[in-house]
Amino acid sequence: MRPAGVGRRTLAVVTARGGSKRLPGKNIRMLGGKPLIAWSVEPAIRIGRLCDVLISTDDPEIAEAARAAGGLVPWLRPASLSGDAARSAEACIHALDWYERGHGLVDALMLLQPTSPFRTRETIGRGIDLFYAGGRRPVVAVAKAPAHPDRCYRIERGSLRPFTGAGRRETRTQDLEPAYAVNGALYVIAPGDLRKRRSFYRGDMRPLVLEDPAEALDIDTEWDWRIAEALVEQGAARRVHA
Q: What is the mean pLDDT of residues 205-228?
A: 96
Q: What is the pLDDT of residue 95?
A: 98
Q: What is the pLDDT of residue 242?
A: 64
Q: What is the pLDDT of residue 241?
A: 66
Q: What is the pLDDT of residue 7?
A: 58
pTM for this prediction: 0.92
Q: What is the pLDDT of residue 84?
A: 72
28-66 pLDDT, tens digit each: 999 999 999 999 999 999 999 999 999 999 999 999 999
Q: What is the 3-state secondary structure (H, E, C) of the chain?
A: CCCCCCCCCEEEEEEECCCCCCCCCHHHCEECCEECCHHHHHHHHHCCCCCEEEEEECCHHHHHHHHHCCCECCCCCCHHHCCCCCCHHHHHHHHHHHHHHHHCCCCEEEEECCCCCCCCHHHHHHHHHHHHHCCCCCEEEEEECCCCHHHCEEEECCEEEECCCCCCCCCCHHHCCCCEEEEEEEEEECHHHHHHHCCCCCCCCEEEECCCHHHHCCCCCHHHHHHHHHHHHCCHHHHHHC
- Is it the case that residue 3 has pLDDT exceeding 70? no
Domains assigned to the chain = 10-142+181-241 (3.90.550.10)
Band of residue 175 on the pLDDT scale cut at 50, 70, 90: confident
Which of 62, 32, 71, 188 shows the shortest CA–CA distance to 123?
188
Range scoring the smallest mean pLDDT among 4-8, 52-56, 156-160: 4-8
Percentage of residues in the chain having pLDDT higher than 90: 78
- Is it the case that residue 224 has pLDDT exceeding 60? yes
Q: What is the pLDDT of residue 144?
A: 95
Residues 217, 152: Cα–Cα separation, whole Å: 21
- Is it the case that residue 8 has pLDDT exceeding 60? yes
- Higher-confidence residue of 64 and 164: namely 64
Q: What is the mean pLDDT of residues 154-173?
A: 83
86-140 pLDDT, tens digit each: 799 999 999 999 999 999 999 999 999 999 999 999 999 999 999 999 899 999 9
Most confident of 80-84, 167-171, 212-216: 212-216
- Is it the case that residue 180 has pLDDT exceeding 70? yes
